[in-house]
Amino acid sequence: MAIGEPMKIRAALAGDQTEVKVLMNHEMETGQRKDAQGQTIPAWFIQSVMATWNGKAVLSAQWGTAIAKNPFLSFKFKGGAKGDKILIHWVDSRGDQRTDEAVIA
Partner 1 sequence: MDRGRRKALKSGGGLTLATLLAAAGWLPPGRAQAEGWNKSAFEAHSLGESVKALGGSDPVQSKDIEFFQTPEIAENGAVVPVGVTSRIPKTESIAILIEKNPNMLAAVFDIPPGTEPALSTRVKMAQTSNVYALVKADGRYYVAAKEIKVTLGGCGG
Contact positions vs partner 1 (CB under 8 A): 1, 17, 28, 30, 32-35, 41, 47-48, 56-69, 71-79, 91-97
Closest approach, Cβ 59 to partner 1, in A, equals: 6
Specify whether the CB–CB gap between 41 and 34 falls below 8 A: yes
Query: What is the closest distance, in whole angstroms, from the C-beta atom of residue 98 to partner 1 in the complex?
Result: 10
What span, in angstroms and rounded, lies between the C-alpha atoms of 49 and 64? 11
Q: How far is the CB of 36 from partner 1 (least distance, A)?
A: 10
User: What span, in angstroms and rounded, lies between the C-alpha atoms of 85 and 82?
Assistant: 9
Q: Which is nearer to partner 1, 5 or 74 (CB)?
A: 74
